[in-house]
Chain A
């Protein structure tokens, strides 16, 4: 069988060997969690508790700040101790709620066990998803109930679950595909029912053959479900690239959404969260996170409560064998280097990656030699080196023509650049300037 894929792309080594065989372990209940109010794209959640309040596991502590927003829940049982700014996995500091417990008591609120959840109405399902505070768990964190509410004139015929996990080092999605495959398929069916799609596809990169085999076996009797093996190439898991690989449909550029290709894409982890929200009314208060890196003593795949500090996760994984050079929240291609380990994990935290000094080192930027490496790998078919040049010369019209606004920041260009130019930084400058120019023109 020939593997499906997209055009362009880079081939970083996958480094999954560190943690891929580590079974998902339940991380011990933390004594303290920090629940960030902005774990998603859209308006931050609004706190509805105050310092001193007693909260139970799963209790709402912040409500959605708008339509494109989600509520937040306490992930442990304890007392609200602070509502201040805390370090955020995006690298800055943002408002968050600190909850302190005793590390033992774990009283849940509101759990049910509904057997016939598939006969619920799509509206009820979406309501439960919103109430459970589910957002995309692959990284971007788009509120799931919004993604599952396409306008009536945009029919959806296919739901694609993203099990690609093309970020090197990360194995969280891989482990859940092996250990929680049934829940993933249940979630997929719920999503298909909500958007009235008759076809479900699970896309998995070919470097996870056992996950492909396992899920294929489970869906073998269901004619409308299909597992698609994809070529190992970065960024295979990018939404538009995945849609193209799985269906040959192209999502229009210039801000086009997957629904224009009649597709909805959800991460496999999100599918589990959707299932648990709909069938159990379980809010999204834990997730699987990979703790890895060459210097981490015992790389792990932990199921940990949202708000657990990275420092505790690293300690749980046995700490490090040499001095830490940098700490990355997420994968090495699109994740954020964060200044402190005293950062809490969020709903989008797929990995905690520790680099040593050598790996954290950056080489001096040199002149562009127009080798076209960036042009060859760009999955959006842009001319990254021209964006860099245009940015250097303040030529925003040229920067736009070279494709600045279509860049999804996958970083393939900067990954291959032999002159060590961080092309993404130039793209960011150009994007900001183009927005500025557009504002002026109005």
Chain B
């Protein structure tokens, strides 16, 4: 007879080998392809800027947790992830203090004031970016670094030469502009004021627009041969990371799918220059490949804490993000709307969850 007393604990006594920590580090791993393309395209400074953001976020979180007298939990990877996502939204010519300040703001104001991981209403990384954009708009949107291979806008050399011959003002403007900046800029026809010799502003506009939608230009977008933020330029690298997370059952297909799908459809309907449905297939492709959409759809709009938990809710969230993104891009004053659309939908998350509460199995009134 044994009189040993054993440990008791409530059921279940088995646990899946998945923890917050390995989820967060898995997301970091999924961002490596994008990091690699960023580093390849812009040089090692891109890598160092990213690390600066990540490490600043970790240091900031640890410091605040010490001050709050709560356990330091930076090894869970969530702060590091937030930090590198802030840096991913900054271009490679930025000074080092920029991602550091952004990451500190993201952690301090975006996360810790609400009580740390799990309690923040807004995506901290996007809040950090919004803060930087509002505080240093020029630093954030000017001085894009060209990649080692192509022009910043992804326009081919042939198109650029053609534009230069038509309007040198336009040429100067688009030389230093990202693809989405170009789209926004050419809506203002006054920039073609120097067009002469029987050519019209409309003609230049069309040349640039068509140039952007050329397959080689789209290919540049897809691979990442453009100017832009460190982590967002290569659609293919981000898609690989996103698929990896889906395969690992870490992110749900619903948000990326509905977000990208909505953006695609709306761009196709409203994006053409001659009214509804005037766009070909290239324009919606341009919209989903450009800017921060892939980064946003796979890595920001899927942030657990700030997005709905219900399945229907996640689809609504993705559609909402798509509608806001296209609205901002086509109608609004900013060239890019991904981060604001996700932040706005973050605010709607509790409401969406409340509205989309599923029926219990066998529900009767």
Contact, CB under 8 Å: A332 / B13: yes
Contact, CB under 8 Å: B361 / A411: no
Contact, CB under 8 Å: A402 / B357: yes
CB of B29 within 8 Å of the partner chain: no
In the complex, A403 Cα to B361 Cα: how many Å?
A: 10
Interfacial chain B residues near A363, Cβ < 8 Å? 15, 19
Interfacial chain A residues near B5, Cβ < 8 Å? 339-340
CB of A109 within 8 Å of the partner chain: no
Whole-angstrom distance between the Cβ of B305 and the nearest chain A Cβ:
5
CB of B116 within 8 Å of the partner chain: yes
Contact, CB under 8 Å: B10 / A422: yes
Contact, CB under 8 Å: A256 / B362: yes
**Contact segment of A119-127, A221-229, A372-380:** A372-380
Number of interface residues of A (CB under 8 A): 70
CB of B69 within 8 Å of the partner chain: no
Whole-angstrom distance between the Cβ of B14 and the nearest chain A Cβ:
5
Contact, CB under 8 Å: B6 / A325: yes
CB of B353 within 8 Å of the partner chain: yes
CB of B73 within 8 Å of the partner chain: yes
Interfacial chain B residues near A93, Cβ < 8 Å? none
Of A370, A376, A383, which one neighbours B305 at CB under 8 angstroms? A370
In the complex, A134 Cα to B267 Cα: how many Å?
A: 67
Interface residues of A in 317-372 (CB under 8 A from B): 324-328, 332-342, 353, 355, 359-360, 362-363, 366-372
Contact, CB under 8 Å: A367 / B13: no
Interfacial chain B residues near A406, Cβ < 8 Å? 360-361
Contact A328/B13 with A253-B360, A340-B4 known, Cβ cut-off 8 Å = yes
Interfacial chain A residues near B2, Cβ < 8 Å? 311, 341-342
Whole-angstrom distance between the Cβ of A183 and the nearest chain B Cβ:
31
Interface residues of B in 105-121 (CB under 8 A from A): 115-119
CB-nearest residue of chain A to B251: A371
Chain A: interface secondary structure?
loop
Contact, CB under 8 Å: B15 / A375: no
Of B12, B22, B116, B362, which one neighbours A252 at CB under 8 angstroms? B362
Whole-angstrom distance between the Cβ of A284 and the nearest chain B Cβ:
25
CB-nearest residue of chain B to A354: B6
CB of B8 within 8 Å of the partner chain: yes
* Max chain A Cβ within 10 angstroms of own Cβ: one of B5, B6, B13, B358: B13
Contact, CB under 8 Å: A333 / B11: yes
Interface membership of chain B positions 1-43, coded 1 if the CB is closer than 8 angstroms to chain A and 0 otherwise: 1111111111111111011101100000000000000000000
Interfacial chain B residues near A10, Cβ < 8 Å? 16
Contact, CB under 8 Å: A366 / B73: yes
Interfacial chain A residues near B116, Cβ < 8 Å? 367
Of A332, A371, A386, which one neighbours B304 at CB under 8 angstroms? A371
Contact, CB under 8 Å: A369 / B13: no
CB of B363 within 8 Å of the partner chain: yes
CB of B252 within 8 Å of the partner chain: yes
Of A339, A369, A403, which one neighbours B8 at CB under 8 angstroms? A339
Contact, CB under 8 Å: A240 / B362: yes
In the complex, A240 Cα to B358 Cα: how many Å?
A: 18
Contact, CB under 8 Å: B304 / A369: yes
Whole-angstrom distance between the Cβ of B69 and the nearest chain A Cβ:
16
In the complex, A381 Cα to B15 Cα: how many Å?
A: 20
Interface residues of B in 348-365 (CB under 8 A from A): 353, 357-364
Interfacial chain A residues near B363, Cβ < 8 Å? 252-253
CB of B156 within 8 Å of the partner chain: no
Contact A325/B7 with A355-B13, A370-B118, A415-B14 known, Cβ cut-off 8 Å = yes
Interface membership of chain B positions 46-85, coded 1 if the CB is closer than 8 angstroms to chain A and 0 otherwise: 0000000000000000000000000001001010000000
CB of A12 within 8 Å of the partner chain: yes
In the complex, A413 Cα to B146 Cα: how many Å?
A: 49
CB-nearest residue of chain B to A337: B8
In the complex, A136 Cα to B139 Cα: how many Å?
A: 71
Whole-angstrom distance between the Cβ of B129 and the nearest chain A Cβ:
21
Contact, CB under 8 Å: B20 / A418: yes
In the complex, A333 Cα to B117 Cα: how many Å?
A: 28
Interfacial chain A residues near B118, Cβ < 8 Å? 366-370, 419
Contact A418/B18 with A333-B12, A341-B4, A375-B309 known, Cβ cut-off 8 Å = yes
Contact, CB under 8 Å: B16 / A415: yes
CB of A65 within 8 Å of the partner chain: no
Contact A335/B117 with A256-B364, A385-B309 known, Cβ cut-off 8 Å = no
In the complex, A424 Cα to B13 Cα: how many Å?
A: 12
Interfacial chain B residues near A360, Cβ < 8 Å? 6-7, 9, 13
In the complex, A332 Cα to B15 Cα: how many Å?
A: 10
In the complex, A240 Cα to B4 Cα: how many Å?
A: 39
Interfacial chain A residues near B304, Cβ < 8 Å? 369-372
CB of B310 within 8 Å of the partner chain: yes
Interfacial chain B residues near A244, Cβ < 8 Å? 361
In the complex, A406 Cα to B364 Cα: how many Å?
A: 11
Contact A342/B10 with A366-B20, A383-B358 known, Cβ cut-off 8 Å = no
Contact, CB under 8 Å: A327 / B309: no
In the complex, A373 Cα to B8 Cα: how many Å?
A: 26
- Nearest 6 interchain pairs by C-beta: A367-B118, A411-B12, A372-B309, A337-B8, A250-B362, A371-B304
Instruction: Please list the residues of chain A having a beta carbon within 8 angstroms of any beta carbon in chain B.
Output: 6-7, 10, 12, 91, 168, 240, 244, 250-254, 256, 311, 324-328, 332-342, 353, 355, 359-360, 362-363, 366-373, 375-376, 379-383, 385-386, 401-403, 406, 409, 411-412, 414-416, 418-420, 422, 424-425
Known contacts A372-B252, A383-B357, A403-B360, then 7 further A-B pairs from the complex at CB < 8 Å, ordered by chain A residue: A333-B12, A340-B3, A362-B9, A367-B118, A369-B117, A375-B309, A424-B11
Instruction: Please list the residues of chain B having a beta carbon within 8 angstroms of any beta carbon in chain A.
Output: 1-16, 18-20, 22-23, 73, 76, 78, 115-119, 252, 304-305, 307, 309-311, 314, 353, 357-364
Pull 26 A–B residue pairs with CB atoms less than 8 Å apart, ordered by A. Answer: A12-B14, A240-B362, A253-B361, A324-B6, A325-B7, A328-B13, A337-B13, A339-B8, A340-B5, A355-B13, A360-B6, A363-B15, A366-B118, A369-B117, A369-B305, A370-B118, A370-B304, A375-B309, A375-B310, A375-B311, A381-B358, A381-B360, A402-B357, A406-B361, A414-B15, A418-B19
